[in-house]
Chains A and B, each alone.
Chain A
Amino acid sequence: MGGFSAISAGNGWLIAALGISVVFFGLASLAFIISYFPRAIRWWNDHAQAPQHTVQLLKSLFGRRQRKAAISADSGERHKPEELDDVEEALRLITAHMSEPFKLPRLIEVAEQRGLARVHSTINRLLVREIMVGGADGLFHWTTPKDSKEGVNGETVSK
């Protein structure tokens, strides 16, 4: 006995199909695992920065009510206070992942990538109210609620 009949007699076709399947599923599993690497790395990075992240979040929540009152008192409001507050909170979360002081153009770029509405005017409002301020070095940072001079309508913060 030889050739194809020998293969059939020894279950060769079945073994070949099994081998192909094992290799196929092995590679597919590997590809699936590798596709999750970016998420796993991101999770790891977030986890490693958790204390700083939490502090930033607490800061943003802590200063929220006082600023809200000041914003509501201002006339000619173009954003609803709660909208501004939400965007501000989102911006604070973004900057929590950046080192502070941060680069303003980079913040705008990331905020736009994340789909935040009217990033430019929102940031302008935060600057005018000195909730966010620029340093002489051209970098920006958040002020603590205590430091911020709210209700300064239209005053410049340019350096």
Chain B
Amino acid sequence: MIPIDELKQYEILAELDPTELKILSGMAEATQAQEGEVLIRAGLPARTLFILKQGDLMVAFPDGRAITMHKPGGVVGWSALVSPTSYTASVTCLTDCTLISFSGSELLRLIQRNVAVGTKIMRKISEVLSRRLPFLQEEDKRRIKSRR
């Protein structure tokens, strides 16, 4: 469980009201990962969405291109919310990291049940996706379009 005040600071959850944040607070867990640890492997089933709390990450796409994340609030593992759920990129910790993790299936159930929460979260996920779209493979782009 993560305090509501902390969750509110992250861009992806900024639009949620306290009641909605309370639901998410019960689903969120703090996760620690060490420097060099592979948090997510491309191609594997996507089961967890992570928000970066502290540390630095590298998101590596299958063609070898990469982006790095250094600010708290960065989101990785959005594939957990887009069917069929498999990760499109690998994520490695460049330094020791603290992350907030959400179970993809729980979050997906919440989004499907609660339209208001779903809309707010998916809007933010779309923003993340639009920034990463140039790096995605054609197959993944088709997958996202079909989801929309």
Interface residues of A (CB under 8 A from B): 103-106, 108, 118-121, 123-124, 127-128, 134, 136-140, 154-159
Contacts and interface: CB of A to CB of B under 8 A. Distances in A.
A158 B68 contact: yes
A134 B56 CA distance: 14
Given A120-B35, A121-B35, A124-B94, A134 B64 contact: no
A120 B93 contact: yes
A157 B68 contact: yes
Given A118-B35, A120-B95, A103 B66 contact: yes
A34 B97 CA distance: 48
Given A137-B65, A138-B66, A158-B68, 4 more contacts: A103-B65, A121-B94, A137-B134, A138-B61
Contacts of A108: 58, 92
Interface of B: 35-36, 56, 58, 60-61, 64-71, 74, 90, 92-95, 134-135
B67 A105 contact: no
A105 B58 CA distance: 8
Given A104-B60, A105-B60, A120-B36, A134 B67 contact: yes
A137 B71 CA distance: 20
Contacts of B60: 104-105
Contact of A158 (B35, B61, B67, B93): B67
A59 to B, nearest CB: 22
Nearest to B58: A104
Given A105-B60, A120-B93, A121-B35, A158 B69 contact: yes
Contacts of B35: 118, 120-121
14 contacts: A103-B65, A104-B58, A105-B90, A108-B58, A108-B92, A120-B58, A120-B92, A121-B35, A124-B70, A124-B95, A127-B70, A138-B66, A139-B65, A158-B74
Given A104-B60, A124-B94, A156 B66 contact: no
A159 B67 contact: yes
A46 B67 CA distance: 30
Nearest to B135: A138
Contacts of A123: 94
A139 B71 CA distance: 20
Contacts of B36: 119-120
Contacts of A154: 70
A158 B56 CA distance: 10
A67 B64 CA distance: 28
Given A104-B58, A118-B35, A124-B94, A158 B70 contact: yes
A156 B71 contact: yes
Contacts of B95: 120-121, 124
B61 to A, nearest CB: 7
Nearest to B94: A124
